[in-house]
Amino acid sequence: MSCTENAVLNGEIIFFMIAVLVTGSTGWWWGRKRYRCSDPSRGEPYYFGTTKLFCMTSKGKRDAPSRNTKSLSHRWILYKGYYFERLSSGDMYTYGSSSDSDKCSTHRERKPAGYSSLSVDCIKRCTNNYKRKYGSYGWWGNNCHIYANRISEILCTRTTCPSWNCNDNKHISCEWTEIIFLVLVVLVTNSAGWWIGNIKRYKCNDPSIGEPYYFGTTVLSCMTNNGKRKAPSRSTKSKKHRWILYKGYYFERLSKSDVYNPGSSTNSDKCSTRRESRPAGYSSLSVHCIIKCTNSYEKKYGSYIRRKNNGRHFANRISDILCTRTKCPSWC
């Protein structure tokens, strides 16, 4: 083997070893630069932990207002007090405030984009079924702006909920909705047109139609922090139930409720649990603050959803609060 080939081989081996160390590490040597809460002098330590999940679960022309889809900001829809938005981590709705509004600059447009008579429950179901209808999040092609425009179209042009978000247990079945829609199409195409004109002239900027809805934005650079994490987090795809341990209390999200327990996590008496050996970070917040956040979590972030809003998402959000805050969030 020549000297040149030998040098290339050695270079590849060194690169591979560095890649393994970086991707396999928990960030002990570069995490301290990324996280503001890695200094023990800041306060009390908190930890990530897991419980075996299997053990726990063994039992053309626009019809509606729209906005630019290439804007360098995060966009949401505000309707009847609820903020509907698409994040890279999932589609969600919260009452009272948008994601990261307590630490990032937000802007709600002064004038309503339109008015709607649809129920909040309809838009919640549209959000829950959005990924199934339109696919996964795409930074450029299927982002928050496109989501907001589609929700605007539903709010503006619909008087009944779209068929694709039907829930057969509670609402008229999707099949019957489609049949009714086809019948209406036949009536429209064969009518004299006395009410077709009303449909064509229908606009959602008339306050008599219903409740107002608004477009709004959040500063994207604040939410993404230029791609760097502001607080420690763990994978949301893990097949384990995750919790946060802080000042002797275990904070966790279960399918039925969000809970906190002093001394032990849920089902720790019969399920294998593991607390990470190193603190995820340090915080000066009181336990009472995190208890209030846990009690208000569902109102802020919505109900438990197995893959979109589960215990792992909960743990990362509590970590963000503990790591980046010196005062309790206003929504808690």
Mean pLDDT of 150-170: 76
Residue 158 is predicted with a pLDDT of 86
Looking at the chain, how many residues does it have? 332
pLDDT in tens, 297-319: 999 999 998 888 999 999 999 99
Using the structure block, give the residue that is written with the tokens 């039907």: 166
Cβ(50)–Cβ(242) under 8 Å? yes
Q: Which amino acid is at 297?
A: Y
Q: Where in the chain is the domain with CATH 3.90.1720?
A: 26-58+230-324
d(CA 253, CA 319): 13
CATH class as words, domain 26-58+230-324: alpha beta
Cβ-based neighbour number of residue 332 at 10 Å: 19
DSSP string computed for 122-145: HHHHHHHTHHHHH-S-BTTTBSHH
Winning range, highest mean pLDDT, from 54-58, 91-95, 135-139, 226-230: 91-95
pLDDT in tens, 62-108: 468 888 888 888 889 999 999 999 988 888 898 988 888 877 888 88
Q: Which two tokens stand for residue 169?
A: 């247990």
Q: Is 318 helix (H, G, I), strand (E, B) or coil?
A: helix
Q: What percent of the chain has pLDDT over 70?
A: 67
Residue 251 is predicted with a pLDDT of 95
Q: What percent of the chain has pLDDT over 90?
A: 23
Phi, psi of 78, rounded to the nearest 5 degrees: -110, 125
Q: Which two tokens stand for residue 326?
A: 């010196």
Neighbouring residues of 105: CB distance < 8 A, sequence distance ≥ 6: 218, 219, 222
Winning range, highest mean pLDDT, from 106-115, 174-183, 219-228, 314-323: 314-323
Q: Which amino acid is at 307?
A: R
CA 142 to chain centre: 15
Sign for the CA dihedral angle at 82, 83, 86, 88 comes to negative
Using the structure block, give the residue that is written with the tokens 């032990």: 264
What pLDDT band is residue 219 in, cutting at 50, 70 and 90? low
d(CA 76, CA 74): 7
Phi, psi of 252, rounded to the nearest 5 degrees: -155, 155
Q: Which of 156, 187, 160 is nearest to 174 (CA)?
A: 160
Alpha carbons within 13 angstroms on the beta-carbon side of residue 212 total: 10
Q: Which of 86, 175, 159 is nearest to 129 (CA)?
A: 86
Cβ(40)–Cβ(178) under 8 Å? no
